Structure 1
Amino acid sequence: MVGLTASDVPPTMAVTIFSAGVAAGVADVITFPLDTAKVRLQIQCECQTSSAVRYKSVLGTITTLAKTRGPMKLYSGLPAGLQRQISFASLRISIYESIQEFFTTGKENDVPCHFVSAVIAGFCTMVLSSPVDVVKTRSVNCLPGRYTSVSDCAMMMLTKEGPSAFFKGFVPSFL
């Protein structure tokens, strides 16, 4: 009888969760300037003053931020972004795997099983990671000095707006 080789053994849940978190973290570091530009473009009307720079495109926003405030400004809020990505990816993968095992009918390519598992995993993940996502978005807001840190942002939200503040924008995020 021939034993299983290392390539035949599926990774453990811990390895899968860790790998998903690391991959999401690396991807976030690489793409974070794009996210910063997206947020700036989305909220520029709220923060517009007569002397404020008007951003017109993603590349223009990235270039303007790097020139006027320095290249590190493109990574403002990165710790919160990494927390969000690592928790989101790890939760989504682990929840999906667990739900899929629960619904598995024995067929290898059971599309309804995969679809239902993905929807449930996505919903559960958004419920659990929405607070981190909201804090991340606020920490890269265009109002400099509003929050001293990610934890300061979370505490101010909790004390001034209550727990529901952490779920603002939940529905569009899930959809």
Structure 2
Amino acid sequence: MVVAQRGVIPPPKHYADSAWFKYILSCCAATTAELVTYPLDLAKTRLQIQGEKGLNSNGLQPYRGLAGTGVGIIREEGALKLWQGITPAVYRHLIYSGTRMVLYEKVRDHLFTTRPDGTRPVWQAIVGGILVGGIAQFLASPADLVKVQMQMEGRRRLEGKPPRVHSAGEAFIKIYQAGGMRGLWKGCMPNVYRSALVNLGDLTTYDSVKRYFVNSWGLPDTYWTHALSSTLSGLVSAVLGCPADVVKARIMNQPTDSKSRGLLYRNSADCFLKTVRNEGFWALYKGFVPCWLRMGPWSLTFWITYEQIRNACGTSAF
């Protein structure tokens, strides 16, 4: 594939560098990455939740690793169930990815310090990544809540439990009816913490590493530089985000009382402590391999798609 290098593309059109156009491009790239890697996210969520105290497995064999989880889902529920919950996942990225990408670029271009060599202080990138990641996830948290609950529906039915929801729209309505607006933000804080850390690993790492490769190593701003930078950012994201991801998934999946209060965990700190006490510290890294294998390809797919469609549309380099 021939990739046009930055600096030699035609001048951007009048709308190409506008915030709304970049928002649309980031949503397109995120949707592509989500569709490609979603089965890994489903496997990761199943692995993270299984084994927690207070849930009945009805004698079902626990999943063993990424491949075993995928095979088990196909055998027990059908291949299409690997994409169960994909609709709210896409809805989430229409809010989350668009918001975080546009906000980060605005903050970076207007508030960060630019050195003569084109690089920027890493601490500014860290603060910016954490801030925009938390804000974007707070706005998208209801869609993430629906996604997690829909991902577990197939497993619940195999355990002999009645289905909670049949579609994303029904899930939104039922959650709202049970807990109001507050119920839609159940598990919001661990979700915000997780996304702040993931954004630190993904967006901040990609931005800083890519600029280092281009400005210090002299690598061209092309496909292979994007691939190398996104691979590193996916690894850092998985290491930083997996414990918070486990806590988020468990809080969002737990049953609630009539006042939308969790029956297993009071808050994210309580979930963290109970998980470590009941299952050991490494339970916080349950599903790490699928988490990493998902974040790596997701980051790779997203950044390559995003950079290429920006290039094709005449938008300036990220």
Q: TM-score, normalised by structure 2?
A: 0.49
Question: Is the contact made by 1:37 and 1:58 (CA closer than 8 Å) also made in structure 2?
Answer: yes
**Which of 144, 149, 164 in structure 2 is aligned with 1:138?**
149
Going from structure 1 to structure 2, the CA distance change for 1:109 and 1:85 (only over 3 Å counts) comes to same
**Which of 29, 35, 45 in structure 1 is aligned with 2:41?**
35
**Which of 7, 12, 23 in structure 2 is aligned with 1:9?**
12
**Which of 167, 171, 175 in structure 2 is aligned with 1:157?**
175
CA-to-aligned-CA distance 1:9-55 (integer Å, 9 cap, x gap)? 384223322221111111111111111111111222325112x2321
**Which of 26, 29, 38 in structure 1 is aligned with 2:32?**
26
CA-to-aligned-CA distance 1:52-94 (integer Å, 9 cap, x gap)? 2321111101011112221001111111111122321111101
User: Residue 49 in 1 paired to residue 62 in 2?
Assistant: no
Which residue is equivalent to 1:118? 129
AA aligned to 2:189 is F
Which residue is equivalent to 1:109? 119
Going from structure 1 to structure 2, the CA distance change for 1:68 and 1:106 (only over 3 Å counts) comes to closer
Higher relative contact order (CA 8 A, sep 6+): 2
Question: Once the 2 structures are TM-superposed, how far is the Cα of residue 101 of structure 1 from its aligned partner?
Answer: 3.3
Partner Cα distance (1:76, 1:47) in 2: 21
**Which of 70, 74, 78 in structure 2 is aligned with 1:66?**
74
AA aligned to 2:26 is A
Which residue is equivalent to 1:170? 189
Question: Once the 2 structures are TM-superposed, how far is the Cα of residue 135 of structure 1 from its aligned partner?
Answer: 1.4
Partner Cα distance (2:9, 2:33) in 1: 27
Identity, in percent, stands at 22
Question: Is the contact made by 1:103 and 1:117 (CA closer than 8 Å) also made in structure 2?
Answer: no
Q: TM-score, normalised by structure 1?
A: 0.84
Question: Is the contact made by 1:20 and 1:89 (CA closer than 8 Å) also made in structure 2?
Answer: yes
AA aligned to 2:156 is L
Partner Cα distance (1:167, 1:117) in 2: 25
AA aligned to 2:12 is V
Which residue is equivalent to 1:128? 139
Which residue is equivalent to 1:90? 98
Question: Once the 2 structures are TM-superposed, how far is the Cα of residue 105 of structure 1 from its aligned partner?
Answer: 4.0
Partner Cα distance (2:58, 2:10) in 1: 59
**Can you give the 5+ residue segments of structure 1 that lack an aligned partner in the other structure?**
none
Q: What SS does structure 2 have at the residue aligned with 1:162?
A: helix
**Which of 145, 157, 165 in structure 2 is aligned with 1:147?**
165
**Can you give the 5+ residue segments of structure 2 that lack an aligned partner in the other structure?**
1-6, 158-162, 198-318
Partner Cα distance (2:145, 2:133) in 1: 17
Question: Once the 2 structures are TM-superposed, how far is the Cα of residue 116 of structure 1 from its aligned partner?
Answer: 2.7
How many matched pairs?
171
Partner Cα distance (2:126, 2:108) in 1: 9
